[in-house]
Structures are given as structure tokens and as C-alpha cells.
């Protein structure tokens, strides 16, 4: 079974960059969900999630982003999805989620989106 690898980098102004690579599915979604909950518990509410190395995402994986988006908004922050692969973006699209999330093609644009 393919794995999910998550890395975390703290950027300036309290922004956290998570990079998810591999498979985000019914078996691995808990790893990302727990990582995001840890950030919220640390009062990190401005999160960029880079998905350019995520090769697969199921609806269970998309559910993580729905919950994270709501948690960050409730705390006065924001979640931005950075450069998802075509396959992953298609899942967001098929589930009707492209209007709910902020997407960016570059880190600079993702940082700007956090301010809006």
C-alpha cells in the first residue's frame, strides 16, 4: 500500500507550509488530519498545503481539507491549496469543491491568498 509523506515548514508571519506527497486515501487520511489538528492546537491558523507531489486523493482525503478549511476559518485563519496535481484537482472538481477552497499556482500567490 502506498504511503503518505507529510513535511512541515514554518514560514514568516505565522504561516505554515505542509507538503503532502504520495497517496491520500481511506488508509492514510488520518495522518494529514492529525497533522492539521496539531497545527490548530498550536494556534497555527494560516496553512498552505502543497500538493504537487500528491499522486492520488480519494474522497476521504478531500474530507480532510473540508474539515481543515472550516477549522481555520472558524479561528480567523485560512487554508490555501498550492499547486495540486491534475489528478488531485480533478477530485476537488468532481466533488464540487473548487469554489470552496483557495488554490494557488505559486508559493508567492498562496501567501497573498492568505491575506485576502
Q: Tens digits of per-residue pLDDT, 69-105?
A: 999 999 999 999 999 999 999 999 999 999 999 999 9
Pick the CATH number of 4-115 from 3.40.50.300, 3.30.70.270, 3.30.750.24, 3.30.200.20: 3.30.750.24
Residues 6+ apart with CB under 8 A from 22: 2, 3, 4, 5, 28, 53, 54, 55, 56
Q: Which pLDDT does position 48 carry in this prediction?
A: 99
What are the beta bridge partners of residue 8?
A: 18
Cell of 37: 489538528
Amino acid at each position: 500500500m502506498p504511503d503518505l509523506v507529510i513535511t512541515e515548514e514554518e514560514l514568516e508571519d505565522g504561516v505554515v507550509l505542509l507538503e503532502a506527497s504520495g497517496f491520500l486515501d481511506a488508509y492514510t487520511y488520518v495522518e494529514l488530519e492529525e497533522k492539521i489538528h496539531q497545527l490548530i492546537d498550536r494556534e497555527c491558523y494560516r496553512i498552505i498545503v502543497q500538493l504537487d507531489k500528491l499522486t492520488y486523493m480519494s474522497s476521504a482525503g478531500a474530507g480532510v481539507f473540508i474539515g481543515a478549511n472550516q477549522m481555520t476559518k472558524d479561528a480567523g485563519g485560512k487554508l490555501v491549496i498550492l499547486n495540486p496535481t491534475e489528478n488531485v484537482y480533478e477530485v476537488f472538481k468532481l466533488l464540487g469543491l473548487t469554489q470552496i477552497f483557495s488554490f494557488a499556482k505559486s508559493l508567492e500567490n498562496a501567501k497573498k491568498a492568505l491575506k485576502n
